[in-house]
């Protein structure tokens, strides 16, 4: 009789990066349409001039979170840089971000917990 333990590696489903990929993917055409004047969203008044910048940020978010889903560790650093760049741009453009600060922290916490929980899947 052998005391060997068989370990079967089963990849887990990483929910947070998948949700962020979908949200950022919706944001890309949304900000492009807003920038080009083909769309009007009441909550995004003032984004018309800078829609292309936010579309690029959304594209970077899609790339970074998709990299996390594929198991690349650089996606985590990239997503943190995306959030930092987004924060700097919001501050430079004098955006009123106080009402959304709590929601943003909850989403970042959800993402960080889910990515940390599945960190062994990243190389």
**CA angle centred on 13, ends 8 and 16, rounded to 5°:** 145
CA 10 – CA 7 distance, rounded (Å): 9
Q: pLDDT tens for residues 52-100?
A: 999 999 999 999 999 999 999 999 999 999 999 999 998 898 887 788 8
Q: Compute the distance between CA of residue 112 and CA of residue 106 in angstroms, rounded to an integer.
A: 10
Residue 22 predicted with pLDDT over 70: yes
> pLDDT tens for residues 90-102?
889 888 778 888 9
- Angle at Cα 77 formed by Cα 71 and Cα 78, nearest 5°? 90
The three-point CA angle 121-122-123 to 5° equals 120
Please tell me the pTM assigned to this model: 0.84
State yes or no: pLDDT of 7 exceeds 90: no
pLDDT of 39 reads: 78
Mean pLDDT of the 12-22 span: 89
Kindly tell me if the per-residue pLDDT of 2 is higher than 70: no
33 and 39 in contact (C-beta within 8 Å)?
yes
């Amino acid at each position: 009789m052998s005391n060997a333990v068989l370990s079967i590696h089963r990849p887990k489903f990483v929910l947070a990066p998948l949700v962020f990929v979908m949200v950022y993917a919706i944001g890309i055409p949304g900000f492009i349409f807003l920038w080009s004047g083909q769309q009007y969203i009441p909550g995004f008044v003032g984004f018309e001039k800078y829609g292309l910048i936010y579309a690029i940020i959304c594209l970077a978010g899609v790339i970074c979170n998709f990299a996390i889903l594929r198991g690349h560790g650089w996606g985590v650093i990239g997503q943190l840089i995306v959030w930092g760049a987004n924060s700097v741009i919001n501050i430079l453009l004098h955006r009123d971000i106080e009402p959304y600060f709590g929601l943003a922290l909850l989403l970042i916490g959800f993402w960080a917990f889910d990515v940390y929980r599945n960190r062994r899947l990243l190389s």
